[in-house]
Structures are given as structure tokens and as C-alpha cells.
Amino acid sequence: MSGLSVVFNVEPGDYPSWSPIPYYGVKVLISDPNDYPETTVLYRFITLGESVAIKVDPMVFQSESNIRRVVPDKRACWFHDEVILGHTDRYSFETCHTECKMKTYLDTCGCIPFKYPREKSTRICEFEDLNCLNNVTVYKSRENMDCKPMCYMECQDKKYSITSDLLPFLPEDYPNNVSRGRNASELAALQVYFSKSNCNCYKMSLLIDVNYFIATYGGVFSLSFGGSVVTISEVIYLFVSIIIVCSARKLYPVAESEIENKW
């Protein structure tokens, strides 16, 4: 089994008495490294004496290049190079949603919470702004925020789901230098690995366009009814010829009768 294995020395004695955290341990965040860890981030808590094994199941989403011909409103996704965001050169739905939320905070409250990236001229929100930030979080999140550009999903992306197993921490399962000289009751362990050697891949492709429609249904029409472009042209030429002849007979009836008498 390959993956990431970490042993944490929690050291509960370093926690202050006024700390609001109700446990001793660590919080593990799992997200795409190219996304801001907020919208779809997964997390797991690990406390003293625990050994947690996190199994990751990835899902891969791909799109063919001909999807670019479809307008974004119809395909409901962006390619990574189609939209330039303010804090990254690679588009992602999570980062777009975060930047839209930041803009909403800035427009409504005049500041941005400390956890977000910001410009030097942008003010960091303080205690006096908590009421405004709470109103934005409660009411704006329930509506469609005015995001420009619209935050569509990525045409090529990866998603992750996790399952975890909880076991007691056993020092003998790790090298001696890891737990030597430390209180084993204050240690915790984490293992992260892919649950399978393969994963599900979903691909979006353009099935029918104008060229495909003409080629397919034109061929079906030709096979079924013996029709083709040449046949249609000949039918049009026949009708036009009949119309011209009929018009000529109406305009020159005498001349036509003289020709018939001569014959």
C-alpha cells in the first residue's frame, strides 16, 4: 500500500485554557490542490490515541475539444483557460465561487475576512463587521449571487470522496524513532491512500452538430427515398421549366398556333 502516513504529536499541554476548541487533536483537510479549500473541501478530525485511515475515491471528468464550440450557457462548464480569475491563472469552480463571495463581502461590508487572499489596499474585517458578515452569509448564500463570470463547473476536473476507518494508535506499528521518548497516549496517526488502483472517468462529447445532422439525415434520406442534392436540383429545374413554358403559352398564344399550323 502506498500513500501518505503521518504521526502527530498532539501535545495537549500546549493548548491554552481559554481555547474554544472542544478536543485535542488535528483537523485534516482534503481538497484539490488547485482549488481554494472552502466550497467542496472534505475534512476529518483526529484526536489523541487514534489511528485514522482515509481512503480516497477520485472521479475524473473530461471533455473533448469540440465542446468549445458550444456556448458556455448551454454546456454549463468552463475550460481552465477560458476564464481568468483574480487570484489564480487556472479556473476552477471552487475558486470562482470563493472570489464571488469575496466580492459580495467587499461590496456589502467594505471588507474581506482575514482567511481570504486580498489586495494590500483591501481592509480586513473586524469585530464591528461581524453583523454585516453574518447577514451576507445568511441571506446572500440563499440566493444566486451576482457572479461575473458565472461560476460554472469545470469541463475537465477531478472530484474526491472519502471513507475512513478508525483504529487505536499502536506504537509498535511504526518505526522506533517515531515514538521513542514521547508519550504514546499523546500521539495520533493518519494514513491517506487511494482505495482502488482505478477510478471512474466521465467524458463529455459533442454528439450532434450541424455538419453531423446534414451528413446523417441527408444520407438516410438518400437511401430511403432515393433523394440527393442532384435529385432536388433536377426537381426544381423541372418545376421552373414548366412554369416558364406555361407563362410563354399565355403571353404568346397566336405565335404558338401559327407554329402548329406550319407543322
Tell me the pLDDT tens digit for each residue of 205-217: 877 766 666 666 6
The fold of the 80-154 domain, in CATH, is: Helix Hairpins (1.10.287)
Assigned C-alpha cell, 29: 483537510
Are 151 and 94 in contact, with CB atoms under 8 Å apart? no
CB 162 within 8 A of CB 30: yes
pTM: 0.64
The string of DSSP codes covering 99-158 is HHHHHHHHHHHS-B-TTS---TTSPBP-GGGHHHHHHHHHHGGGS----SS--PEESSEE
User: How many C-beta neighbours within 10 Å does residue 56 have?
Assistant: 17
Of 196, 181, 195, 174, nearest in space to 51 by CA: 174
Cell 458556455 belongs to residue: 72
Which among 255, 39, 22, 1 has a CA at the least distance from the CA of 159?
39
pLDDT digits (tens, 9 = 90+) for 4-35: 889 998 888 888 888 777 778 888 888 888 78
Q: How many residues does the chain have?
A: 263
Domain 1-62+159-205 matching CATH 3.10.105.10: the answer reads: no
